[in-house]
Structure 1
Amino acid sequence: MDETLGTALRRWRDRLSPTDVGRTSRAGRRAVGLRREELAELAGLSVDYVVRLEQGRATSPSAQVVASLARALQLQPVERDYAYRLAGLLPPQEGTISTHVPAGVQRMLARLGEFPVGVFSADWTLLSWTPAWAVLLGDPSARTHAERNLVRAVFAAGPSGLAAWPVLQDDDALGPALVADLRTALVNYPRDRELIDLVAELRSTSAEFTRQWDEGAVGPHVSARKTIVHPQVGEVTCDCDVLTVPGCDVRLVVYTVAAGSADAEKLEFLRVTNGVRADGSSPPGPGLFSRP
């Protein structure tokens, strides 16, 4: 029988252990691998849509859907490209930004659940995050793909701007650092249509972005200290480290606090009161908030 995207999804889902994605495997669990509900939550899709994909009743998934499923299923690059072809899509081409998060990085994230960690693509679109990230910085799951782009959020006005990422204090250094990083990305990924369109959009809508872009600064966004204003506990000051994964150019943004500090106590309070377990995982369901 010819393979379809649905049969491939079922096979890939069955080979993953709950612990691979940061979940506790309870005694008496009958499902082999991930349940459809778990895959849907990880990929940001409805359970009904995952069922229809697996049954072959949904036949034209978008590239974003396939990319989300590939990340959730921890596919290797060759498997991700195979999934694109099964969906009737062209795999990502050279010179375009990768949204693929390697399986090893995802396994690492599953074990770093107690830390707020976000994974960004080279154009600063948020791809995945730990439960502690959602607790500290707001649950991104209800935001659209466009709203998850940090550069767009920094320079946009109104409710779609950084206010929708409910917590970062005004940071005069953040905008210039992101603009310089984005210019570097445009050189590295000259064929990426979304990146080209993002720069054109921001140049047409933000005078501040245009001014900074025309200054011509180039360089990666690096580590810094950030102060987060949280609606429950007030200010939390963290060390923010930006780690780039060689070979795929995804960036891990990791927030940490000094052990025993007042900031550590606030972060622990947020984890406990919002259901993040000791192993860093969180129960299914919506996050703390999707918008402030």
Structure 2
Amino acid sequence: MRDTEVMSRPENSLGEALRAWRDRLTTDDVGLPATGRRRTAGLRREEVASLAGVSVDYLLRLEQGRARCPSRHVIASIARALRLTGDEVCHLHLVAGLLPPVAGQVPHEVPPSVDRLVSRWEDTAVGVFSASWTLLTWTQSWAALLGDPGTRPPRERNLIRAVFAEPSAAGRSALLPFPADQNTAAFKAALVADLRLALAAYPGEKELAELVRESTQVSADFREVWGTATLGSRLGGRTRIQHPLVGEIVLDSDVLKVPDHDMRIMTYTAEPGTPDAEKLDLLRGTAVRTALPLSAG
């Protein structure tokens, strides 16, 4: 038995809990448009799957009790999609056969206050990252601009891996193109400096230790920056994206921190009235829902 597993759990208690929590939500609760007449109350399974970044088939198998060993990342994503409270998140972990999150671990549950904020920014490309720089939730505008992260496994949604991996590595361009009008070395230094702070805040977190070990092995750039005891500059800046639908688009990127929950909110915006703003508007209208092959400039 894994050290994260619990000894026993009631028969299909996970599926029953998931259905009950899905039934109590409305499209207004999660910031989705109401579409078509509904035979029953609550969200459709397809809507929850989309919000959580999992397949509809997998969510169906969880609800029916045919899938029994969801990962922590999947459980955290479903908890966010269902807008669970802290106590409900603990219960979800237990019925999924996992020990609840404990103090000292990097938070991966997006709090309701941040969820509400993101839902009101649906027209803006917004992504919420954990302290380990794993992408937790995002707007449809983010998916339209950078490709849908929901098509990738959680491991490939990590920004450290995306930035310091080889340029051809999967997941890189779906998270963050490199800054255009800002020194790339300074950006990397800022990112690693933030990761160093996270490692100090969560010294027992295996995920962080593994991320540092892996990045040190695969990236000479990471080894160089990690071995330099200097503070990084701000993470935002001007960013150039080569998009397959609208061509080159130059945006302002900003990173806002949520100290109480140790999360980072990244946004991409354009100055109103500019050609770049028009391109963003076009992308919003297309509502791209699939991963797009992007390249950084």
CA distance in 1 between counterparts of 2:80 and 2:202 reads 21
Q: 1:41 aligned to 30, 50, 57, which one? A: 50
Partner of 1:79: 88
How many residues are paired up?
Answer: 281
Q: Which stretch shifts more, 80-89 or 105-114?
A: 105-114
Partner of 1:275: 287
Q: 2:73 aligned to 60, 64, 72, which one? A: 64
Q: Tell me the alpha carbon deviations over residues 76-117 of structure 1, each in whole angstroms, 9 at most, x when there is no partner.
A: 222111110111211122111111111222122222111000
Shift of 1:207: 1.4
Shift of 1:210: 0.8
Report sequence identity in percent. Answer: 48
Partner of 1:195: 208
What TM-score do you get using the length of structure 1 for normalisation?
0.88
Q: 1:142 aligned to 148, 151, 159, which one? A: 151
The answer to whether the Cα contact below 8 Å between 1:142 and 1:290 also exists between their aligned partners in 2 is no
Q: 1:94 aligned to 95, 103, 111, which one? A: 103
The answer to whether the Cα contact below 8 Å between 2:135 and 2:157 also exists between their aligned partners in 1 is yes
Instruction: Give secondary structure in 1 for the equivalent of 2:261.
Output: coil
Shift of 1:42: 1.6
Q: Are 1:177 and 2:190 matched, yes or no?
A: yes
Partner of 2:130: 121
Shift of 1:144: 2.1
Q: Are 1:257 and 2:266 matched, yes or no?
A: no
CA distance in 2 between counterparts of 1:71 and 1:137 reads 21
Gaps of 5+ in 1: 277-285
What value does the CA root-mean-square deviation take over the aligned residues? 2.2
What TM-score do you get using the length of structure 2 for normalisation?
0.86
Q: Are 1:55 and 2:64 matched, yes or no?
A: yes
Instruction: Give secondary structure in 2 for the equivalent of 1:164.
Output: coil
Q: Are 1:16 and 2:25 matched, yes or no?
A: yes
Moved over 6 A (4+): none
CA distance in 2 between counterparts of 1:230 and 1:242 reads 22
Partner of 2:261: 248
The amino acid across from 2:199 in the alignment is L
Q: Tell me the alpha carbon deviations over residues 209-263 of structure 1, each in whole angstroms, 9 at most, x when there is no partner.
A: 1111111234685432222222232332222121122321111101111211221
The amino acid across from 2:53 in the alignment is G
Gaps of 5+ in 2: 1-9
CA distance in 1 between counterparts of 2:153 and 2:164 reads 17
Q: Are 1:31 and 2:45 matched, yes or no?
A: no
